[in-house]
Amino acid sequence: MAVHQNEDLAGTHSSAKESYPPPGYAWYVVGVLTIAYVFAFMDRQILNLLVGPIRRDLHISDTQMSLLMGFSFALFYTLFGIPLGRLADSRSRRSIIVAGMALWSLLTAGCGLARQFWHFLLLRMGVGVGEAALSPSAYSLISDYFPKEKRATAISVYSMAYYVGSGLAFLLGGLVVGFASTRGNWSLPIVGAVRPWQVIFFIVGLPGALFALLLYTVKEPARKGARMTTTADGRAQVAQVPLRDVIAYIRENRATFFYHNVGFALLAFSGYGTSAWIPTFLIRKYAWTAREAGVVYGTILGVLGTLGIVTGGRLADWMARRGYQDSSMRMGLIGALAWIPAGVLYPLMPTGNLAAAMLVPTIFLTSLPVGVAAAAIQEMMPNVMRAQASALYLFAINLIGLGLGPTAVALMTDYVFRNDNAVHYSLLVVGTLAHLGAAVLLWLGLKPYLRSLARLKDWSKTHA
């Protein structure tokens, strides 16, 4: 499918010569950013376990519920991600993350005050705006803390927060749902009477606003390869590349961006779409309680997802050291194809225990390419464009993946199968088609990606 390439000796020598922060502190920064990302995914995914009580209290359908899960969040996440990414390429990435985390945490807690569908919709939009500040800045920070040959692993460790956060959301959410539901309505100071699901949003959202303060222990590293200018008061700052130059550079690499962004977005389409509805699938098909579904699925997601994403990053770095410059793209292709057998089987299992067993390899293989997708962008872009390119990538995977994935499953259930209990068929169809499409696009993108790496070398020589 692809040709073995000679190792990029020039790139290896270059990264060896450059000075990077001490490894211990660099991994501390990754740890802090990862925990911030864990909070983000807990705030994002807790909704998926509460479909039943929220539908009941707000009197809404699966399709409306999917808009709260995905589209309302993803639309504003993607719209604000690009300008925030451009800001992160020349301003304090740490300050951008702190402000965003405080915003999304407080608005997540605010979801516990929602009394009508449109209240919830507006709050989820605001959560999307806050979370848009995190990943473009985090990817850029990590890339300045680690040399090229270690970035896939570092970014994969950061990206494993998706599975740790989602797993905790389901696991802790399941336990809290089981406890809170035994008490009926709660009476809280100032707020008054609230439902158990509303209490869960307070518990999940508020700690993140406090954790945001710890981000002030993260130092801004020197931007590798960035030009500096002096302000009127004598301070040095990064010279921002004109937007037209960024657009021109992306246009020159448009084939790579298309195959990469849409290919990985289809994997996200399957991942977000199925993850949003697997707890409901376990509840509807096998008559599990929300607590059982949350604890079992949360454990599988947290453990196997974390193992898969770190394994993907390690394998990509291992392949890169052996001369595969397209290792990050290649890992996405491997993950897309390897997922299909397990992904087809788990919705068809006759018992819940067998379905859970089949989810073990499914989740591991789903997570394999997640971290390397972001690493591939960092490797092909100049430093001063990385956050903007990352924001464009996040635009694609969140609009297509998070925005449309959960809704695609819901639409299949509501309008194709016309039966709430047929959600397992919706999971089967959406996941399989998405992975097949992703495999085709990522395979077609291998050669354009290599051309983009060569183009980066030429750009770096002329802008040194």
Beta-bridged to residue 192, according to DSSP, are: 188
Residues 301, 166: Cα–Cα separation, whole Å: 7
Q: Domain for residue 238, yes or no?
A: no
pLDDT in tens, 190-211: 766 777 778 888 888 899 999 9
The domain tally of the chain equals 1
Q: Domain for residue 227, yes or no?
A: no
Cβ contacts of residue 288 below 8 Å, gap of 6+?
282, 296, 352
pLDDT value of position 5? 43
pLDDT value of position 287? 93
pLDDT value of position 108? 92
Q: What CATH code is carried by the domain that includes residue 47? A: 1.20.1250.20
Intervals of the chain under pLDDT 50? 1-16
Q: Domain for residue 8, yes or no?
A: no
pTM for the whole structure: 0.75
pLDDT value of position 69? 78
Structural domain containing residue 48: 20-220+243-462
Residues 302, 173: Cα–Cα separation, whole Å: 13
Cβ contacts of residue 269 below 8 Å, gap of 6+?
400, 401, 404, 405, 408, 430, 434
- The CA angle 375-450-225, to the nearest 5 degrees, is 55
Task: Give the residue from 22, 39, 53, 23 showing the smallest Cα distance to 280.
Answer: 53
Task: Give the residue from 379, 405, 301 showing the smallest Cα distance to 140.
Answer: 379
pLDDT value of position 255? 96
- The CA angle 312-96-87, to the nearest 5 degrees, is 90
Q: Domain for residue 231, yes or no?
A: no
Q: Domain for residue 94, yes or no?
A: yes
Q: Domain for residue 10, yes or no?
A: no
Q: Domain for residue 123, yes or no?
A: yes
Q: Domain for residue 165, yes or no?
A: yes
pLDDT value of position 383? 80
pLDDT in tens, 85-136: 888 887 889 999 999 999 999 999 998 888 888 888 999 999 999 999 999 8
